[in-house]
Every structure is written in C-alpha cells, then in structure tokens.
Amino acid sequence: MSNERNMTPDLLAALAPGFGDPVHDTQAVFRTLLDALARPGTIGVIDTPLPAADASPAPTHAGVAAFASLLALADYATPVWLAQPDAALAAALRFHAGAPLTAEPHAAAFAYVHDAATLPPLEAFASGTAESPEQSATVFVRVDALMGGAPLSLRGPGIETTRSIAPIGLPERFWRERAALAPHFPCGIDFYFVCGNRLMGLPRTTLVEMH
C-alpha cells in the first residue's frame, strides 16, 4: 500500500511539500548535519529551499533547519517523536520519508522539541547500550538564538583547543542532565540546536564547561 493511501484526509490537507530535488537536497542537508557534529559549536546553514517550513497553507512550527534535517534523516526504520503537535511536519515525515511517529520519546531515533522550555528530562530519551551505543536518540531543540546567551566552553574531538558557544533558550537543567550522561560514554545523546535556517551540533563526545 502506498504512503498516500495510508494518509488520512486531514493529514493530506496538512501536507507540506518535500524537497524539490530529493536526492541533491537530502545530500546537501546531510553534509551540513555531519559537518555540524564534526565541528561542535560551529553554526551551519540549511540553504535548501523549503518554503513550506516557513509559510504554507497549513503552517508548520518547525523552521527550515529542523524541517529539512528531519526530512533528510528519517526513514521507515527511524521513529520520530514531536514534543509539540505539528500536523504539517508529521504529514511530511510520513509521506515523504515513510517515517513512523511515536508518542514516547524513549522510542524515538529522532526527536524535535519546538519549545526548549518543554524539553523533557534527558533520561526520557534513548541513550543506547554498552553493546549498541548507536541505538540512541538524536534530538533537535529549537532555541531562541544560537548566540547572545551565557557563554559556555566546548572541548573534545573536532575542537582544536576550546570553542565558545552562547545559545539562548535552553533550560538550565539541560547542562546538568547532559553532564550526568558523560560517565556512560559511548552511550549518550547527540543534539542539534536549531533556529530558523541555522543549526549547531553538540555530539555526546563534547565536554561543556560553564564560564
């Protein structure tokens, strides 16, 4: 049965268009995402045209970076958890990527939190096991801004000495909860902070120090 036949009328009505050139656009977004994780704390830009992510007949809460990233990464084998209801994004993921949606964050391979203040405790997400650390969640969190907040120093792979970041909008407990995961490496959670068409990667290998 095709994806279209599986779609309800309401979901089809809310459907946001996918990539104009699926192969090229997916590869471009994937390269940006890989680079962001390889160079933690640097800002990447998603310049793939996705007008539906900003303005569509059925508005989606996700900005370009989150919308395009999830569309590029998700597939039939990667459940996605949306912290806030988003009919257009949900329909696009199901129709264009064939990705199932889950109601439980722990079951998600990818998660999107539109409002950082509502981020659940990090223990709610899968962080992998000693045998399969790769079976963990990648979490996209929309922040108010990628710069201008309290400065933090990053150390670790992909950073020559240190790198400073200053996102705005993350709950303070986020940094404590993330630090608590460090002793369990290689288990952990990889994060992307997104804002509009820009994003910043924070892999589990990165150490964060408060200034």
pLDDT per residue as tens digits for the range 163-178: 999 999 999 999 999 9
Mean of the per-residue pLDDT values of the chain: 87
CATH superfamily assigned to domain 3-116+124-210: Bacterial phosphonate metabolism protein PhnH (3.40.50.11310)
Annotated domain spans of the chain? 3-116+124-210
Q: Does the structure show a pLDDT above 50 at 59?
A: no
Measure the CA–CA gap between 55 and 46, rounded to whole angstroms: 16
Measure the CA–CA gap between 69 and 102, rounded to whole angstroms: 18
Q: Does the structure show a pLDDT above 90 at 124?
A: yes
Q: Mean pLDDT, to the nearest integer, of 20-32?
A: 81
Q: In 3D, which of 204, 203, 199, 169 has the Cα closest to residue 72?
A: 199
Tell me if residue 147 falls in helix, strand or coil: coil
Q: Does the structure show a pLDDT above 80 at 10?
A: no
**pLDDT tens, position by position, 72-97:** 999 999 999 999 998 888 988 998 88
